[in-house]
Structures are given as C-alpha cells and as structure tokens.
C-alpha cells in the first residue's frame, strides 16, 4: 500500500481551507466597483440554525477582508456578528467585548443604524447572561435611538426587557411592559418601519405578538390570587401558533412547558378537573425533558464547536508554517555560498566577543554584587519605613480607643473635655496621616490639578492653627501667627484644601520635632501688581533642628529615616507631600536650621488677586422656611453623624435612607430641598441613584458626601448630575456653610415660585 507524502497532504489541506475562505467571501461579502455589502441574512440563518462553526469561518474571512481593504463598516458588522455567535454559545463576556468593538467603530463613523444594532446585541447578551444592572443602564439609551430611527429593533429590545423582568421575577413590571408592548405592536404598521438590516424578518410582528401575549398571561397569573378569571389570557394563547413563533428560540420548550404547567395549576386549584390537570402536567413534563435535553446537547455542541475552531486554527497555523519552511528551503541552494560566508563571519565575531567578554566577567560580577547590595539596602529601608508607619497608625488608633473608654467612664466634666480635646487631636492626626499615605504614591506620578476659588489667606492660616492647636497644647507649645495686613475685601484665587494640607503638614512637622518653646507661622507680602500678589510663608520652630549633612534627604518619602529616631516620631511623608504639592503651585520649599535651636521652612507663592465686594449690595430679606434634607448612606454610624450635624443647623430637618433604590422612591413621593448622597453603596452607587433622580427631578441640589478624594471623582460626579462634593472628614463650620448656601438658594427659589403663582 502506498501513502501520499506529508507535503502533499498539507498542500491539499491548505487548498481546502483557501477554497472555503474564497466561498465564504463570495457568500458573505459582495463586492462591486466601489462598494461592498455584508450578507446579514445568510449569517442570521446560520446562527438561527446553530451552524455556528460555518458562521465563524464566514465572519473571520469577512473581518480579514475588511481590514485588508480598510472597510470600517464591514469590520463593525463582523464584530456584531461575532457577538451574536458568542451569545448563542453562552460566552457572554466575549459577546459583550465584540459588540462594544462594533459600537466603537460605529461611533467613530457616526452611524446611528449601526449603533442601534450594537445596543440591541449588548442588551441580548446582558439578558441571557443575567447582567441586569448593565441592562438597566443601557436600555433607555438603546430605545431612544430605536425610536429616533423608527426601527423594528424597538420591539425586539422591548421583548428583551420583558424577558429580563420574567427572569428576575419582576412580575408587576412584566405585566406593565407586556401591556404597553401589545398596544404599541397593535398600533404600529411594520411596513412603515425602517428596518435595521438589508432584509426583513419573516412574520416578525406575529412572532412578537405571540411572545408578548405569553409573558402577559404569565404575569397576570403570577400577581393574581389564582382565580379562574386570572387564567383567561392563558387559555386564549394558541399553543401551535406560540410554538411556531418561538421555534428558533433556545428556550422554546421551557416556555411551552410553563404554558402547560399553568394550565395544570388551573385545573388543579380552580377548575378541579384532575383528568385535564394530569393531561397538561404530562405535556409540561414532556416539554421540560426536551428542554433539559436541549441544554445538554447545546453544552456538548458548544464544547465540540470550541475544539473544532481551535483545531482548525492550529492546523491552519501549521500549514502556513510548513509553507514558509518549504519556501525557505527552495531558496537555500541559491544563496548557500553567501549564507556560508556570513555564517563564518558571525562565528568568528562571536568568538572574538566571547573571549573579550570573559575578560570582563569579574568586573560584571562585582558590579552585580554592588547593585544587589544597594537593592537589599533599599528593601531594608522600605521595611523600616513601613514598620515606622505601622507604629504611627497604631499610636493614634490606640489613643482614640483609650480616650473613648476614658470619656465613657469619667464623671468629671472638666476631665471629660480634656479627654475629648485629646481625642479630637488624635483623630485629626490620624486623618492627615492616612491622607498623606494615600496621596504619596499618586502625587509621585501626576501633578495635582488645583481647584481655585476666592479665599482669604488669614482665614486659611487660622483654620490651620485651630486644627493643630490641641496637638501643640498637649506638648505645652505656644502657637504664634503673624500675617501682614491687607485690604479686607481682598481675596486670592486658591485651592483651600491643597494649601491647607501644605501648612498643616509643616505645622505638625514642627510640633513633632519640638519639645519646648513655640511654633510660629509668618505670612509676609513680598510684591504685588494690579493682578497678582506674591506671599512668603514661614513655619518656624524651636525644635531639635536639622544637620546640614541631612539636607539632601529631608524631602524624600523613604530616605529621611534619619529623622525617625528615638527622639521623634512620624511617617516621613509630610515634607514629601508638601514639596510635591508646591510643584502644583509653581513653587519650591527650602529651610534654614541650627541643630538644637530650631528650623525655619519657607516658600513663596504668587496668587491671582480677586476683589470681593461685600455688604455693598443689600439682599432683600426673604421670609425663611424650614429646609428638609434627605441623607442617603448605607453606613449607620455615618447616617447618625450626618443627621446630628444637619439638626444642629437652625431651620433644618432631615430624613435618612440606607438604600439607593428606596431613596429614588422617596424622592418621587416627598419634597426635599437638598439631598446628601453617599457614593459607595452596595445595591446602587451614588452615581446611578443620582442619574435616576435627575430623570424626574433635574433641579434639586444633590451633594456627594464621601471619603473619596474629590479630584478623583469630580468628572464622574459632574456627569451623573451631582452639584458638589463634600469630602469626609470635614470641619462642621465648612459643612454648615455649604449646606446653608444651597438652602438659601432653595429658599429664594421657593419665594420666587410663590410670587409667580
């Protein structure tokens, strides 16, 4: 017996694959003189008939064609087709990925018809994959574009929504949606629709009608008391017509099983006809068995399909590799002399560099040893840093826990107040330490964007003094401040949070390294012109001082462990944060110091002037009314603290809610003047809750009350419709000022509305 040579087999295989690709292009891509069209009908038939492997081959070829000829629209259609195949194979993650690729291309081409198809494909994958949150987020957008295009996709998306409500047991909404769907379907002439593809789906309206009737009947039964009248819609469904309309639906047998099961319930509970009940129960069980068998066969088929696709790709790759090798072998004879010469030259060159490199091995090894020693030293430094950091975190936490216990046990009011002052100091220090830790890595890689607003320097400096006052008092240190006089109405454009952080870190640093004496903050005016003013800031202490040999590491986050010794404490991040934040102000910091006498850190910043005319325009006194605030937060302690702070503001009352969905419902039912919204909540986050509220109430002020950094979430919050961010922890006076400012706006709006009436 004679077998064909291996090369012959490979050539035959390549020919077979090439022919199949050529046929695919002929059947899926039709090219004209200047355009090409995508045969959507052929592809949809393959998907409906579960010919997924053949569909995949066709799509792959169409995708190659589109990239070869830079046909972006064909590429998008190919990705959408891939998404449909992946959904059919229950690979919903890949389905979402391909539909989003298509959507991105359609967005770049500004093709609404393509967007419409991509949205519908995504909705289908979300329903089948039980990803209901993404479905709810995308559905309104998808339906808007379908209505705009007057497309049949509107009804297909509506069916997806009803399926979602069916799968999630949302029976009340399923009844409402199916009623709306039946009315819209009845009032729509499908001949006037602008179809999304190049062909019309046969009997689409009739199939949708049967599907909507089915879900409507099921919903009526599920929300009913199982009376005979509740089953009327069920018995109006023609089982044969329903079966015909859902013949291509993978869940067709499950639907038919449910239809007969509810008929069984009717004859069991309402009609009491056991013969009929038994008949429909047997039919239901038969359909259930077929449904289970379908699922099993689909899983087997999907597994075989995946292996088949992978094997085809591997064979094709092997064939291509073999072809390349044969082509290379055919050229070897022609260039053998050249290759031999080049090879000899390379060998000689390699030997030359090899022997030369051996001479340098000792030097290289020594360099590697030195480098390894440095890496070990750096790692040791970092371990020491985190050890110190652990101590710095535990110390205020221990203080807070212990002081809280002492306050609970102490009866003397004076001692209680003393303990409370210390508790506030520990809390302030812990808050600043954690903020420094969180900012340290981020500031290393990005420059902070300043949020400039009018403010007075003396107010900010005095706020800093009040923040560190208790810490200074605990060490018996005197706090002093000097600020050059300025026009009372003169303000500067400043980021109060960032600038306060600079001064607070410098002040805490001075307190940390000072055992006795005082801390002094100076603000001097250096120069000014019509638009700008340059100020010099100094933070002086009478502490241990800094030796000149340590100047190069003072502002380093990990190398200043020289100062973290038994005579002091600290994380070493404060000065690093200060220096980095000053870069955002186009400034730098320096210091002068005498060991055992003290240190003076100083820097200069140029601010833009902003004159604020106060009390020149008399605002008419408006009659006040009580302001009602809604607080939304899933943390009970946070709810309690915010509630108490609101109640401390005169004329303000509040209501608390710990669930995002409940918040949406209560805003619909009651009138509120202001909403304080937490961002991180388990069921719906603050962004989604705000988006839902903005759909029916675009005017109510919504403030985010969050521990997240405001710079990180500002864009996302603005997009969702949040008016302002209040970062926790906050100072009560600042919190009160923000709340009352929005309350005054609401009060004025209420008066204006009343006058208009």
For residue 14, the model assigns a pLDDT of: 41
Q: Residue 111 — very low, low, confident or very high, per pLDDT cuts 50/70/90?
A: very high
The highest-level CATH class for domain 1-149 is: mainly alpha
Q: Which residues sit opposite 537 in a β-bridge?
A: 523, 603
Q: Is the dihedral of CA 402, 408, 411, 417 positive or negative?
A: positive
| E strands in 436-581 | 453-455, 478-483, 490-494, 518-528, 532-541
CA distance readout (Å), 375 to 370, 372, 378, 379: 9, 5, 5, 6
Token pair for residue 13? Answer: 């295989």
Please state the three-class secondary structure of 388-417 as a single string: HHHHHHHHHHHHHHHHHHHHHHCCCHHHHH
**Residue 33 CB: number of other CB atoms within 10 A?**
4
Res. 492: pLDDT tops 80: yes
Res. 13: pLDDT tops 50: no
Q: Model confidence over 206-241: pLDDT tens digits?
A: 888 888 888 888 888 888 877 777 788 888 888 777
For residue 588, the model assigns a pLDDT of: 93
The alpha-carbon radius of gyration of the chain (Å, integer) is 37
For residue 15, the model assigns a pLDDT of: 41
Task: Classify 104 in phi/psi space as left (phi over 0), alpha (psi -120 to 50) or beta.
Answer: alpha
For residue 17, the model assigns a pLDDT of: 42
Token pair for residue 627? Answer: 């302001």
For residue 3, the model assigns a pLDDT of: 41
For residue 756, the model assigns a pLDDT of: 41
Highest mean pLDDT among 318-322, 367-371, 471-475: 471-475
| 611 burial level (CB within 10 Å; 0-12, 13-18, 19+) | exposed
Q: Model confidence over 268-317: pLDDT tens digits?
A: 877 777 777 777 777 777 777 676 766 666 556 555 555 555 554 454 44
For residue 313, the model assigns a pLDDT of: 46
Tell if the pTM clears 0.85, that is, is over it.
Answer: no
Q: What is the mean pLDDT of residues 629-645?
A: 91
**3.30.70.20, 3.40.50.10680, 2.40.50.100, 3.40.50.2300: which CATH number matches 627-756?**
3.40.50.2300
Q: What is the mean pLDDT of residues 727-735?
A: 79
Q: Model confidence over 37-85: pLDDT tens digits?
A: 677 777 777 776 667 777 788 888 888 888 888 888 888 888 988 898 8
User: What are the sequence ranges of the domains in the chain?
Assistant: 1-149, 250-333, 420-611, 627-756
Res. 478: pLDDT tops 70: yes
**Cβ contact 660:686 at 8 Å:** yes
Please state the three-class secondary structure of 151-163 as a single string: CCHHHHHHHHHHH
Q: Model confidence over 397-452: pLDDT tens digits?
A: 756 777 677 787 778 877 777 777 777 766 766 666 676 665 555 555 455 677 78
| E strands in 641-739 | 652-657, 674-677, 702-706, 724-727
Token pair for residue 608? Answer: 């833009």
Q: Residue 328 — very low, low, confident or very high, per pLDDT cuts 50/70/90?
A: confident
For residue 704, the model assigns a pLDDT of: 92
Res. 21: pLDDT tops 70: no
Res. 5: pLDDT tops 50: no
For residue 373, the model assigns a pLDDT of: 77
Q: Residue 124 — very low, low, confident or very high, per pLDDT cuts 50/70/90?
A: very high
The SS3 call for residue 303 is helix
For residue 757, the model assigns a pLDDT of: 40
Q: What is the mean pLDDT of the chain?
A: 79
Nearest to 726 by CA among 702, 701, 700, 703: 703
Token pair for residue 285? Answer: 């069980």
Lowest mean pLDDT segment, chosen from 422-426, 675-679, 696-700: 422-426
For residue 307, the model assigns a pLDDT of: 54
Res. 11: pLDDT tops 80: no
Q: Model confidence over 344-397: pLDDT tens digits?
A: 899 988 878 887 777 788 777 778 888 777 777 666 656 655 655 555 565 567
Lowest mean pLDDT segment, chosen from 18-32, 155-169, 644-658: 18-32
Q: Is the dihedral of CA 468, 473, 478, 484 positive or negative?
A: positive
Q: Give the whole-number percent of the chain exceeding pLDDT 70.
A: 75
For residue 110, the model assigns a pLDDT of: 93
Which residues, other chains included, contact 95 with Cβ-Cβ below 8 Å and sequence gap of 6+?
83, 84, 86, 87, 121, 125, 129
Res. 145: pLDDT tops 90: yes
For residue 538, the model assigns a pLDDT of: 96
For the domain spanning 420-611, the CATH number is 3.30.565.10
Q: What is the mean pLDDT of residues 150-170?
A: 91
Q: Residue 204 — very low, low, confident or very high, per pLDDT cuts 50/70/90?
A: confident
Q: Residue 752 — very low, low, confident or very high, per pLDDT cuts 50/70/90?
A: very low
Q: Residue 616 — very low, low, confident or very high, per pLDDT cuts 50/70/90?
A: very low
């Amino acid at each position: 017996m004679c077998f064909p040579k291996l090369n012959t087999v490979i050539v035959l295989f390549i020919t077979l694959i090439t022919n199949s690709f050529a046929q695919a292009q002929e059947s899926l891509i039709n090219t004209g003189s200047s355009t090409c069209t995508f045969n959507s009908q052929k592809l949809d038939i393959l998907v409906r008939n579960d010919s997924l492997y053949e569909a995949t081959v066709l799509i792959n070829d169409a995708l190659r064609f589109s990239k070869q000829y830079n046909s972006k629209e064909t590429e998008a259609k190919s990705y959408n087709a891939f998404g449909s195949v992946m959904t059919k194979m229950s690979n919903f993650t890949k389905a979402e990925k391909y539909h989003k690729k298509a959507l991105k291309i359609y967005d770049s081409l500004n093709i609404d018809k393509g967007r419409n198809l991509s949205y519908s494909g995504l909705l289908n994958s979300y329903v089948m994959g039980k990803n209901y949150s993404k479905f709810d987020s995308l559905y309104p957008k998808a339906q808007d574009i379908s209505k705009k295009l007057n497309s049949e996709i509107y009804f297909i998306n509506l069916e997806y929504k009803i399926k979602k409500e069916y799968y999630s047991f949302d029976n009340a909404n399923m009844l409402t949606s199916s009623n709306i769907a039946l009315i819209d379907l009845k009032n729509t002439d499908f001949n006037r629709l602008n179809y999304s593809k190049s062909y019309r789906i046969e009997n689409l309206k009739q199939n949708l009608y049967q599907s909507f009737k089915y879900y409507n009947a099921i919903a009526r039964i599920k929300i009913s008391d199982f009376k005979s009248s509740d089953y009327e819609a069920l018995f109006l469904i023609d089982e044969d017509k329903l079966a015909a309309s859902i013949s291509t639906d993978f869940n067709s047998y499950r639907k038919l099983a449910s239809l007969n099961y509810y008929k069984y319930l009717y004859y069991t509970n309402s009609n009491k006809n056991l013969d009929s009940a038994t008949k429909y129960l047997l039919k239901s069980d038969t359909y259930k068995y077929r449904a289970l068998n379908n699922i099993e066969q689909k899983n087997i088929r999907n597994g075989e399909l995946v292996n088949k696709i992978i094997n085809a790709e591997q064979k094709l790759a092997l064939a291509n590799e073999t072809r390349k090798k044969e082509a290379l072998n055919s050229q070897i004879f022609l260039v053998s002399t050249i290759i031999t010469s080049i090879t000899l030259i390379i060998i000689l060159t390699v030997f030359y560099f090899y022997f030369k490199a051996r001479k340098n091995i000792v030097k290289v090894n020594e360099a590697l040893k030195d480098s390894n020693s440095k890496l070990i030293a750096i790692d040791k430094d970092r371990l020491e840093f985190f050890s110190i950091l652990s101590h710095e975190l535990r110390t205020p936490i221990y203080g807070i826990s212990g002081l809280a216990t002492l306050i609970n046990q102490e009866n003397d009011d004076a001692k209680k107040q003393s303990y409370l002052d210390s508790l506030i100091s520990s809390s302030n220090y812990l808050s600043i330490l954690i903020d420094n830790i969180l900012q340290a890595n981020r500031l290393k890689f990005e420059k902070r964007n300043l949020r400039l607003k009018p403010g007075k320097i003396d107010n900010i400096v005095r706020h800093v003094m009040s923040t560190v006052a208790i810490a200074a008092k605990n060490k018996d240190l005197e706090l002093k401040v000097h600020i050059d006089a300025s026009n009372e109405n003169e303000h500067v454009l400043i980021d109060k949070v960032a600038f306060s952080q600079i001064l607070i870190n410098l002040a805490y640093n001075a307190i940390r390294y000072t055992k006795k004496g005082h801390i002094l903050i100076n603000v001097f005016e250096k120069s000014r012109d019509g638009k700008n003013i340059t100020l010099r800031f100094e933070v002086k202490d009478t502490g241990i001082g800094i030796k000149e040999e340590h100047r190069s590491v003072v502002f380093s986050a990990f190398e200043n462990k020289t100062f973290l010794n038994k005579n002091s404490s600290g994380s070493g991040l404060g000065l690093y944060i200060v220096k980095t934040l000053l870069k955002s102000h186009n400034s730098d910091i320096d210091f002068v110091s005498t060991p055992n006498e003290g240190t003076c850190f100083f820097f200069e910043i140029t601010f833009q002037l902003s004159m604020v005319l106060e009390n020149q325009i008399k605002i008419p006194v408006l009659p006040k009314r009580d302001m009602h605030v809604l607080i939304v937060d899933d943390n009970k302690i946070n709810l309690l603290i915010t509630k108490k702070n609101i109640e401390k503001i005169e004329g303000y009352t509040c209501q608390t809610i710990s669930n995002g969905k409940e918040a949406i419902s209560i805003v619909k039912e009651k009138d509120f003047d202001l909403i304080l919204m937490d961002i991180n909540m388990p069921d719906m986050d603050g962004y989604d809750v705000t988006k839902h509220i903005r759909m029916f109430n675009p005017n109510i002020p919504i403030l985010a009350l969050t521990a997240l950094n405001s710079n990180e979430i500002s864009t996302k919050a603005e997009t969702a419709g949040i008016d302002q961010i209040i970062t926790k922890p906050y100072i009560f006076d600042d919190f009160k000022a923000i709340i009352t400012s929005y309350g005054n706006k609401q009060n004025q709006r209420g008066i204006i509305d009343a006058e208009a009436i």
